[in-house]
Amino acid sequence: MARRMISPQMIIKSQIVDDKYIVDLNEILEKYGTLLDDDTKTITLQIYNKEIWEDEANSISTDDGIIGYIVVNGSITISKYDGDVYIKGMLLSYSDMDFIPYLEIPSGSYENIGIELADVYKFDVHVIRV
């Protein structure tokens, strides 16, 4: 019997959130993330919005309030090292909705509510593995 080989370029997506308005990104990172050699935990996520509206984006909040946005139907990579969390991807700033390279969330600033991803419409979240 011949084995079927999977191309290295094939993307495997696993749906982990279905029809939610709000999720905790830190909880997702801890549950589904990959631990690297340097004790960094990392995960890449794709957000699929069920509906969109003009100027809409998925908000990212911590104990300090909204700190940024993810572009609708966007993808992000989250990494955690020594309690500090870094988010990189299709991000917009909270103040002027301009693209930003990353968000840095210091340890201790997400103790109460976590790192919330929220939207007024339902969304799904998939883990992306290459």
Q: What is the pLDDT of residues 9-29, one digit of tens each?
A: 556 678 888 889 999 999 999
Residue 84's region, left for phi above 0, alpha for psi from -120 to 50, else beta, is beta
| Confidence (pTM) | 0.86
Closest CA to 15 of 124, 116, 118, 122: 124
Whether the pLDDT of residue 34 is over 80: the answer is yes
Would you kindly state where each structural domain of the chain is located, as residue ranges? 12-129
Q: What is the pLDDT of residues 72-113, one digit of tens each?
A: 999 999 999 999 999 999 999 999 999 999 999 999 999 999
